[in-house]
Amino acid sequence: MTRDDRTHSTMVEVIEPTPPEVVAGGAITLKVKAWCPAGCNLTGMAIRIAAADGALVQCEFATEPRQDDITDVKLEAPGRTGEHVWGLTFGPHEVAGIRHEQVIVPIQTRIIAHATSLAVWSIPSPVVMGRRFAIDVGAKSSAGIALAAERVEVRDESGEVAARGRLGEAPYPGTTALYWTSVELAAPAREGLHTWSVEFEPRGPDLPHERASTTFSVLVVRSPEHRLTIKVIEKGTSAPIADAQVRLGAYRATTDPLGLAEVNMPKGVYDLDIWKVGYEASTRTVRLDRNILVEVEAFPVPEEDPDAAWLM
C-alpha cells in the first residue's frame, strides 16, 4: 500500500442551514454529517470549533454514534453583536492506520441584541398646569434577564429630558421580569393634551439589549376654581346609587355609598354623563361658575339591555 493509498479524503456537511440571526448568548445546534468516501468508520472522531480570531469556542469532543454518522454540534453565541464566524474542523484523523484529511467548514451567523419592551402606567388624567405628578415605568428583557438599576429617561415634546429614574431591584408584583420605577414629573404650563416619550438604553446587563422607547399622553388643565358635587339617585325611589361612574370631559369620579361624588374643576360648561350597569341616565349640560350641587336621576334598566352598555 502506497502512502497515497493510506490517505483518504473526508467529507463534512451541515445538514440544516445555520440560523441567519441568533441573540447574544443564545444556543445554536448544528446537525453535522462526516463520512469517508472509502467507507471508513469515523465514529468517535473529534470535532473542534474555533472563532474567526482563532480562539477556541468549544473544546474537542467525541461525536456520539448515530445513524448515518450525524451528530449534534452545540454552540453558544458570543456576547457581542455583529457578524460572527466559527470554523468547524474535522480531522486530521487516523483510522485503522489510514490518515483522513482535515476539513474546515465555516459557520457564519449574525449576533443580535435581545429585545426590550417598555410599559407606562398609573398616568393621572387630567393634571393641573405646573403641578407635579408621577407615572410608573417598566422595562422587560425578551430573555427575562434582570434589568435592575438600568436608567430610564422621560422626554417632553421638544425632546428635552424632563426626568430620569432607575429601575428597582425587584420585578413589578405579579410579573417575572418587568423591572419598574416611579418617575416624578412637572406638568407643562400650557393647557391641552401633551405627548411625551420614555427612552430606555440598557448598559449594564451582561448580554447586549436593544434600546426601546414608547410614548404616553397626559391632559393638562387649568387650576380648579369651583367644586361640583353630583348626587345620583334612582328614579322613582330616590335611593342613592353608589359606584356610579361620573364623567365630565376629562374629569372622572365615582359615587360613594350616599350616591355623592365631588370634582374640583375650573369654571366652564361641561357635559355630564353618568354610567352604571343596570341604570340609564341622560347626558346633561352643567355650567360651572360657582360651587354647585347637581342631582341626577338614573332609570333602572335590565342588565341584558344593550343600551345599558357604555364604553368608557
Interval 67-99: pLDDT, tens: 456 778 888 888 889 999 988 888 888 888 889
The domain 116-221 having CATH identifier 2.60.40.10: the answer here is: yes
Beta bridge partners of 212: 200
* Neighbour-count burial for 39-68, b at 16+ CB within 10 Å, e otherwise: ebebeebebbbbeeeeeebbeeeebeeeee
Cell, residue 254:
365615582
Three-state SS at 124: coil
pLDDT tens digits for 140-152?
999 999 999 999 9
4-112: CATH superfamily: Immunoglobulins (2.60.40.10)
226-308: CATH superfamily: Carboxypeptidase-like, regulatory domain (2.60.40.1120)
Low-confidence ranges of the chain (pLDDT < 50): 1-3, 58-67, 308, 311-312
User: Are the CB atoms for 61 and 152 separated by under 8 Å?
Assistant: no
Q: HSE of 121 in the Cβ direction (CA atoms, 13 Å)?
A: 8
Ranges of each domain in the chain: 4-112, 116-221, 226-308
The pTM assigned to this predicted structure is: 0.74
- In one letter, which amino acid is 11? M
